[in-house]
Amino acid sequence: MEHSTDKIIAKKEDHIGWLIFNNPKRRNAVSLEMWQAIPAVLDDFEADPDVRVVVLTGMGEKAFVAGADISEFEKSRDSAENVASYNQQAGLANQRLNELKKPTIAMIRGVCVGGGVGIAINCDLRFASEGARFGIPAAKLGLGYGHSGLKQLVDLVGPAFVKEIFFTARLFSANEAQAMGLENRVLPNEMLEESVREYCQAIAQNAPLTINAVKKIIAQIIDHDQPTDFDTCERLVQECFDSEDYIEGRRAFMEKRKPHFKGK
């Protein structure tokens, strides 16, 4: 597929949509053009019924995403107006990732800091190599960190860990990140991609409508700013029961075979 920058690589294989941050000279730091390209890639993955899972990762072994590309800040964040515009683009990309109907996995090698952590926590699952490192160095740069980003992190790991992350601005090991709930799995580097692919294939074999319903209902559960829309939750459940996939699932169970779900 075509998009606006070669610093974002998008490819599809084996029911997986791969979004690869391709800025290895800057440890995959995200530039403005990269933020702008992300929603279009995700739109394409969501529209393709053959894509069942989306994986985000960084090019090379040194980094998932080393935050925002600070080299751009003199021109892209040099005024209140430019800061607002930049934050809007980054916010739109993260929101699109967070709201994607399909399951998302962050596959993390090397450093994952600042905006990289923000991208990772907008994914549904996070798999890291043993050598991965995590941190948010806002306090070392004098940056403010907004309510929405802090809330996501607090919801995931709790307020005490978020304070430790921000107050110290240090790098945490992959095992420390897993202990606080930031990571789902920590694996030897040589096993990371294989394990992610195995998870993707397991997810791809399951019913897309069920997975989408679970994603949306969990989003309702953890959104403490809005009352739960129980009608929407019930509708999502009923859509599963009314689907062709539910019929296929029952038949496959009775016939002792693997189901072939279509998301319909």
pLDDT above 90: residue 83: no
Q: Are 216 and 236 in contact (CB under 8 A)?
A: yes
- CA pair distance 214, 208, nearest whole angstrom: 10
pLDDT above 80: residue 82: no
- CA pair distance 207, 204, nearest whole angstrom: 8
pLDDT above 90: residue 144: no
Q: Report how far Cα 236 is from the mean position of its chain's Cα atoms.
A: 22
- CA pair distance 77, 74, nearest whole angstrom: 6
Q: Say what the pLDDT of residue 225 is.
A: 78
pLDDT above 70: residue 259: yes
Q: What is the pLDDT of residues 87-141, one digit of tens each?
A: 788 889 999 999 999 999 999 999 999 999 999 999 999 999 999 999 999 888 8
Q: Are 132 and 112 in contact (CB under 8 A)?
A: yes
- CA pair distance 11, 17, nearest whole angstrom: 6
Q: Are 212 and 243 in contact (CB under 8 A)?
A: no
Q: What is the pLDDT of residues 159-209, one digit of tens each?
A: 999 999 999 999 999 999 999 999 999 999 999 999 999 999 999 999 999
What's the predicted TM-score (pTM) here? 0.91
Strand partners, 54: 17, 104
Q: What are phi and psi of 129, to 5 degrees?
A: -80, 160
HSE toward the beta carbon, residue 107, CA cutoff 13 A: 28
Q: What is the pLDDT of residues 50-70, one digit of tens each?
A: 999 999 999 999 999 998 777
Q: Say what the pLDDT of residue 125 is.
A: 97
**Pairing of β 111-113 and β 133-135:** parallel
**Pairing of β 133-135 and β 172-173:** antiparallel
1 — pLDDT class (breaks 50, 70, 90): low
Q: Say what the pLDDT of residue 234 is.
A: 93
HSE toward the beta carbon, residue 58, CA cutoff 13 A: 30
